[in-house]
Structure 1
């Protein structure tokens, strides 16, 4: 399924674009308006990438943190490292397990998609996701269908000077 999504500033432009697409012969079932009074991002199937990254990182953490603890504990048990003299054998093994759990947590962030969380906002406000644009009061005109309908819709939507126009293959 192919998608073409145009970000427009107000409701009137979104409705005009919808009407122009309809007049060009694109079926109503392929055109959607997202925004206040229309479909929401969840109804259309748009997912916030930050939310997805959190979900994947947490899913990975459920597996990697316990295995990291077990691996760190066993590594300390096998090698007999004595980093903390005052802790004794069980304390050193537990510290090794804690270090392994920290390694597992780091792995869940880096491998599970947590890098996409953009925790420090290095990209600035230019890289807003579609749900954030909808929260700002903007409207999205989306065309989903074949490659042919996406190609036909592109010049029509460009006439309305959208803030953003992007195509996706899904």
Structure 2
């Protein structure tokens, strides 16, 4: 499946381009206008990278926090450190496990959140920013032949950006 995204400066230009696609006989079930008065980025499925990063961090925390606790506990048992004399032997091991769990939580936050925020967002952020600026997007989905035909039609409207994507 191929995608074509055109960024248009105003609503009238977007509506005219959308109508031209319909008049050309292209399947309009696969086309959408995004912008004020039409679908939002969230409704269409352009996921917010911050939301995605938060979910990735939370997913990583489910296994990193218990793993960190076990690693901290194991380290404390192996080294037999007596860091906190007031806690006793068992207390020191529990504190070591808790410190390992905190390290796991920090790892899930920085790695899951940071990497999730900086990678995998692709062109989503620029498109969301253009929508915030009051611009409109036309997204067309179809075969390579249909997206080529739609590209020719949309170029007539001199979009600010016209980008094609291929889903592997």
Distance (whole Å) between structure 2 residues aligned to residue 102 and residue 161 of structure 1: 53
Equivalence for 1:128: 125
**CA distance in 2 between partners of 1:84 and 1:159 (Å):** 74
1:120-159 equivalences in 2 (<5 Å): 128-159=125-156
**Whole-Å separation in 1 of the counterparts to 2:43 and 2:26:** 21
Cα distance, 1:111 vs structure 2: 4.9
Give the 4+ runs in structure 1 shifted more than 6 A: none
Q: Partners of 1:96 and 1:16 in 2: how far apart?
A: 65
Matched pairs, number: 163
Shift of 1:5: 1.2
- State the Cα deviation string for residues 30-86 of structure 1 (Å, max 9, x = none): 221111111222332221122112111112112211221122112212321334445
- Give the 3 Å change call, closer, same or farther, for CA 75–26 of structure 1 in structure 2: same
Deviations 1:1-44 (A, max 9, x none): 32111122210111121122223331211221111111222332
Aligned to 1:52: 52
SS at match of 2:90: helix
Distance in structure 2 (CA, Å) of the matches to 1:58 and 1:67: 14
Give the structure-1-normalised TM-score.
0.79
Structure-2-length-normalised TM-score: 0.79
User: Cα RMSD between the aligned structures?
Assistant: 2.6
Structure 2, unpaired ranges of 5+: none
**Secondary structure of residue in 1 paired with 2:82:** coil
Conservation of the 8 A alpha-carbon contact between 2:68 and 2:97: yes
Can you give the 5+ residue segments of structure 1 that lack an aligned partner in the other structure? 119-125
Q: State the match for 1:123 in structure 2.
A: none
Aligned 1:86-125 pairs, distance under 5 A = 86-109=86-109, 111-112=111-112, 114-117=114-117
Aligned with 1:128: secondary structure?
helix
Aligned residue in 1 for 2:166: 169
